[in-house]
Chain A
Amino acid sequence: MERRMNQVPLFSSAGELANMVITSNLIDVALAKIFELQRGQAALPCSVQPMVYDPTPNEPNRTIVVFAPSPDSTQYPLPQGGDLVPYPDFDFLCTKECPSVSINGAALELFESLKNHLSVLKTELIARDGQLIITGHSLGGSVASLFTLYLLDSMNKKSKCRPICITFGSPLIGDFGLQHSQWNSFFLHVVSNKDPVPGLFLTSSHSQTTAYKPFGTYLLCSELGCACYDDSDLILKLLTVISSEVAGGLLQVVDYGEILRNLKKRAICKGRWLAVERFADPFSAGIVMELETIGIDWTKHNIDIRRMEAEARSLAMKTKAFDAKKLNDIKKYMALLEWYKKRSKDAGKGYYDCFKNGEFKRDIRIGEFMGHLNAYWEDMVAQAERKPQKEGASFRTSWLFAGTTYRRMVEPLDIAVFYKDGKRDYIKKARSQHYKLLEQWYEEAAKPTTREELDSKKQKVSVLLTEDSCFWAHLEEAILSCKSLTNANSTPELRESSGNDLVKFGEYVMEQIENYAVSPEIFLKDSSFMKWWGEYKAYITSPSNPCSSRFIEFIDFMKTGRYGVYGRSEVAA
């Protein structure tokens, strides 16, 4: 047994999945309706309009929508029709890697011409429950894909409608990738190795050829059998190979009905053999057989089996990694920080200052906890960003609460590290993107505070974390401003701007206090905030500008020592 240690054997299930699809009759249903529609073309008022087949007594749960343009030139997109057009209506597909969305011109034109009709249809279909099969052949399939995306954007979690889009021999439709997205699961594209259409835009001399990206699952098939793939780089490669092999440039008609009949027979016939045990590991053996089955000579086309294995392995790790343990580890680090905070409070300083000054021996470990927490949350935020906007939003609401607590607890420590090194302007120069996004998402989701909630916050403020995780950055800036103000060498301009900044800071703090948004820990005897106040209060005898009432309120709050009772529930009550 020479298996590499710690590596679980990997398998390729591309052939199994394809056979399951083939024997499940799902494709037959879609294809039968396409043929039915094509035969009855003449009866249709508008040739490209989709046909809706409502549930029948035999299939009470199934609605089928077929896009099958009439068998004239529109069915076969011409090679020159490969231009990509930006289409802002589909911006909901944007992700971090794909900030704008472009769609194939021909498909888009057809889609736009039907849009009024489709928008009514969409609303009607979403309200239904049960299976919804959206299908089409060639360019009809492209429109089916666009319609399905359009539909998915309007669906919410409560929708009982379960869609799947099945296309036959359709060309690629756009430049957005949906890899690793839930939406990927709604698309199944059937492509014969004799069909030149799907790879059309990949071999012609287009400047934009590389921009096209496949999404969803491709069921590739030959006379020998079929296999399913969802790795978009690999699909791109295989489609290119297929269209380069279908020589002659003449577009031939591919009969998907005949192909399907053959595949169904194949699925229950004696399986494939590996001629020689060239690859000892099951993954390579499987992949090689699958590629041979769909008619691809993998050696000739330079397909990197090892890369595929590495890809599959990393994907398998991702889906298998047990999040439960990880989440509890993260909670554990938060609990440890909580204890640190409590201890610091007892020391009369607050955890921000303790950490900044390196008060305890254990501060070193705090850095380690921060590291784990930051790595975890940076990853979570990045994952949410990689998803299409809508999907990303629902993904993150599930943990936004925990993320916010983390941000309020840990970001002050990042700020402490930054200012300890004598740097300036954290918010503009150093604030990590993931904090910004966590804050932005929280604010998008947050509702305005009601009167009652404010009362309850008043009671609990002593155990809450300061809401604005950048509070300490503002304070550090205020300390620096205060220095400029008191420094004899400062220019009058600098002094004036520093003075103004300090007034703004005072107003900001007062607003936080009124909303019970800062922790009373900032008023601890030895905290930086109180030190700052100690220095600043001597300089506010005569403000040059007319002051806002809030600033005056702040000065009063501090001078009269009202802060001493802030957050004490017995006084508040």
Chain B
Amino acid sequence: MVVWLPGNPQTSHCSLPLPYPTNYKTSSTRPEQRERKREKMGETVGNRISVSEEIINRAASQAMRAHNSGGRPFILDKPRGLSVAIFAFAGSWLPDDWFTHPPFGETTMDTSTFPSLRSVGNDEVAVVNASFLRRFKAIIDQLSLEKEVQKVVVDKKQVLFTGHSWGAAMAILATLYFLEKGGPNQNPPRCITFGSPLVGDRIFGHAVRREKWSDRFIHFVMRFDIIPRIMLCPASIEHQQILNHFNPRSEFYGKPIDPHLAFYLKVMGSASSVATHDACNLMGCTNPLLENLRNFVELSPYRPFGTFIFCTGNGKLVVVKNPNAVLQMLFYTAQLTQEEAAEIAQRSLYEHLVYDNEVQESLGTQNVVYLDSLEELPLTSDSGPAIVNAALNDLGLSTEARLCLRAAGGLENRRLRNQAKIDDNQQKMKEELSKLRGYQEKGETLGLGYYDAFKSQEEKADFDANVSRLVLAGIWDEIIEMLRRSELPDEFENREELIELGTLYRRLVEPLDIANYYRNLKNEDTGTYMTRGRPKRYRYAQRWLEHAEKKPSGWRSESCFWAEVEELCSIKTGSNNGPLQDTKKQKIQQLQKRLIEWIHDGCLGKDVVLEGSTFVKWWKTLPSEYRSEPESSMIANLIHG
């Protein structure tokens, strides 16, 4: 039996203003849903995305109105009787506002304004459309938006950003801007777009999902609308033609594009490249040609994120959250048939302008399908649940397309399984960690810190600790490898439990890796631990904590204390090479300062200051000019206290 469950369990712990249905059954048996038709279809789409139909309709009409508002960057609407304030952004058809440079006009995200829009462990910055970012910053610089939003927040109203077409891109960036700024008690803003172009890349979407903001974004897309696909295509003559067609100030405004099919083929050809490329990855393509092709084929970096609601054009709505599935649908739903090619090309332009009516009509009939259990989609046009199949057929999704959607669902489930597997391993990790904790404590009572004991490898306990170290390294390296291959849910790096465990692990075990590194004298032939030897598993765990605490990269380096000591030990003091001595002096003084902080915070163990430790031995040899007060006497106290 096939059960249609919402397939995104990893987003279900997201805090939403309205109760979020946990599965299909409970929601469909709600008493308020008396209407037979609705009962059959499930809850209303408004319930599902926790925005009322009234507000969605209002947003649609405001978005369309604002698009032609001329001059003002946005219009503000506070509808009576609704506890919401709608900010609708104006549009633009100027080519410069869409693409700054060929082929794709992208730039890396401004991380001072949008600090979260990056991957944490992998440490890659998201990519965004440069024109959109530039124009959005100009809006922010005018300050009026910020002031108005502030007022609405004080009034305890829900902030809703919306926009149509280019204005939608502004609404997305505005939402992110205020999500980044938002305090913990503030009701986070929402975003509803209509016919939005794609704004950011894969990492952009990943970061939004990681921060659990994905549910704040609802995108309505008409089946054939060209604009949501336009960013998949490199800047070209055809682009220009499309924008001119929509631009009231252009001499080509509203006129058929000539030749009538070329622009559509161009955009769809590029969309096909991107979609098939991603599908190959989703399907686990093992052909090595795929990798080499990337050297020759430049693909658009832009990818969808958030909840997409496709309008079939005959009153039905299809809701999809899986970003990979959305990308496939952007391509496959707009495929041509040879016979209707010209008509479809026309529709691709026309449909961009009818959102308000279409949305209102579709919300009225509530003919909605949620594509959540993608892995169970029927492959032929007449199998599986009739409602689902009817919607898929209305969107023109062939077996080929459905296989791609299944693959997208497959990846999502695989990621969840991988995460579950890691969770199963947590017990094992904790056991090994407690063994090492015992090893550390024993060292402290015996008066020889575990760092130095491990470095000498004399006792059985040292060998056992090494085995524990390697067992843990195996588990963590596997996690990191999965992250690098995007084989874990996007939210993975934002899980408190993991960050905590990672920090515990890093503080306890990294000293052993450092000891091992310097014991084997790897610094002599490969360089210092920090530059050449530090395993990724510690770098990642440190970045997780820094990100969670909103601290800059490098802030939480306490677990590398011993590496710094070893490096400072290896520079000879007292010789007369001036500049080297100066930087060394600075480093030593800094290290002393931070050591005291770390010991007070409890993130460094007392074993560091045991009499016989490498650190204390070295510290005692330091000439007085390397020490500064009051740190020096504080350290002395620690050693003797």
B292 touches A186 (CB 8 A): yes
Whether A182 touches B478, Cβ cut-off 8 Å, given contacts A328-B473, A335-B463, is no
A187 CB to nearest B CB, Å: 8
Contacts of A23 in B (CB 8 A): 269-270, 272-273, 276
In this assembly, does A24 line the interface, its C-beta being within 8 Å of a C-beta of chain B?
Answer: yes
Contact A164 B265 (CB under 8 A): no
Known: A131-B295, A184-B288, A332-B474. A272 touches B399 (CB 8 A): yes
CA distance A13 to B290 in the complex (A): 11
Chain A residues with Cβ below 8 Å from B271 are: 268
Asked whether any CB of chain A lies closer than 8 Å to the CB of B467, the reply is: yes
Please give me the residue from chain A that is nearest to B338 by CB atom: A269
- B433: Cβ under 8 A from any A Cβ: no
Other CB < 8 Å A-B pairs besides A268-B268, A270-B396, A329-B470, 9 of them? A267-B272, A268-B272, A270-B335, A275-B380, A277-B378, A312-B286, A324-B481, A331-B470, A338-B463
Chain A contact residues (Cβ within 8 angstroms of B): what range?
A: 35 or more
Of the candidates B289, B380, B482, the one whose C-beta lies within 8 Å of that of A17 is B289
Contact of A8 among B269, B286, B296, B410 (CB under 8 A): B410
Of the listed stretches A168-176, A193-201, A282-290, A424-432, name the one at the interface; the rest are far from the partner chain.
Answer: A282-290
* Docked-complex contact A277 and B293, CB < 8 angstroms: no
Q: Say yes or no: A274 contacts B379, CB within 8 Å.
A: yes
Contact with B along A1-24 (1 / 0, CB 8 A): 100000011111101110111011
Contact A282–B463 (Cβ < 8 Å): no
Q: Are B276 and A17 in contact (CB under 8 A)?
A: yes
B residues within 8 A CB of A184?
288-289
A selection of 22 A-B contacts at a CB cut-off of 8 Å is: A11-B406, A13-B285, A16-B283, A17-B276, A20-B273, A26-B293, A184-B289, A185-B289, A217-B289, A265-B265, A271-B401, A286-B403, A322-B478, A324-B474, A324-B477, A325-B475, A329-B470, A331-B470, A332-B471, A335-B463, A335-B467, A339-B463
Minimal Cβ-Cβ distance residue in B for A24: B297
A324: min CB distance to chain B, Å: 4
Q: Does A319 contact B (CB under 8 A)?
A: yes
Docked-complex contact A24 and B406, CB < 8 angstroms: no
Q: A26-B293, A228-B289 are in contact. Are A325 and B414 (CB under 8 A)?
A: no
Is A188 an interface residue when CB atoms closer than 8 A count as contact? Answer: yes
Q: For the complex formed, measure the closest distance between the CB of A155 and the CB atoms of chain B, giving whole angstroms.
A: 13
Asked if A271 contacts B398 (CB within 8 A), the reply is yes
From B336, B376, B481, contact of A270 by CB (8 A): B336
Contact with A along B394-414 (1 / 0, CB 8 A): 001011110110110010001
Whether A182 lies near B380 (C-beta < 8 A) is: no
Number of A-B contacts (CB under 8 A): 194
When C-beta atoms are compared, the residue in chain B nearest to A228 turns out to be B287
Residues in A lying within 8 Å of B, measured CB to CB = 1, 8-13, 15-17, 19-21, 23-26, 131, 133, 162, 164, 182, 184-188, 216-217, 228, 230, 264-265, 267-277, 282, 285-286, 289, 312, 315-316, 319-320, 322-325, 327-329, 331-332, 335-336, 338-339, 342-343
List, in ascending order, chain A residues with CB within 8 A of B470's CB. Answer: 328-329, 331-332, 335
State whether the Cβ of B510 lies closer than 8 Å to any Cβ in chain A.
no
For A216, the chain B residues whose CB sits under 8 A away are: 289
Q: Are B399 and A289 in contact (CB under 8 A)?
A: yes
**Chain B residues touching A, majority SS:** helix
> Main SS of chain A's interface residues?
helix
* CA distance in complex: A10, B481 (Å): 21
Q: Ordered nearest first, which 10 A-B pairs have the shortest CB separation? A: A328-B474, A271-B400, A11-B283, A271-B398, A185-B288, A324-B477, A339-B463, A20-B276, A13-B283, A13-B285
Other-chain contact of A26, B2, B297, B403 (Cβ < 8 Å)? B297
The answer for the CA separation of A171 and B546 in the assembled complex, in Å, is: 58
Task: Give the complex CA separation of A21 and B269 in angstroms.
Answer: 11
> What's the Cα separation between A270 and B341 when bound, in Å?
11
Chain B, range 294-311, C-beta contacts under 8 Å to A: 295-297
Most buried by B among A267, A282, A319: A282
Give CA–CA (A513, B327) in the complex, Å: 67
Report how far A273 CA is from B297 CA in the complex, Å.
28
A residues near B292, Cβ cutoff 8 Å? 162, 164, 185-186
Q: Which residue of B lies closest to A219 (CB)?
A: B289
Neighbour of B284 across the interface among A131, A217, A316, A323, CB < 8 A: A316
Residues of chain A lying within 8 A (CB to CB) of residue B338: 265, 269
Q: Does B280 contact A (CB under 8 A)?
A: yes
Chain B residue numbers with a CB within 8 Å of A289 are 399-400
Contacts of B291 in A (CB 8 A): 185
Q: What is the chain A residue whose CB lies nearest that of B481? A: A324
Given the interface contacts A324-B480, A325-B474, A325-B475, does A16 sit within 8 Å of B380 by beta carbon?
no
Please, which residues of chain A bring their CB within 8 A of the CB of B401?
A: 271
- Closest A residue by C-beta to B288: A185
Least CB distance from A442 to B in Å reads: 17
A24 near B296 with CB under 8 A, answer yes
Question: Is there an interface contact between B268 and A16, defined as CB atoms closer than 8 Å?
Answer: no
Chain B residues near A320 (CB, 8 Å)?
284
Contact B276 A282 (CB under 8 A): no
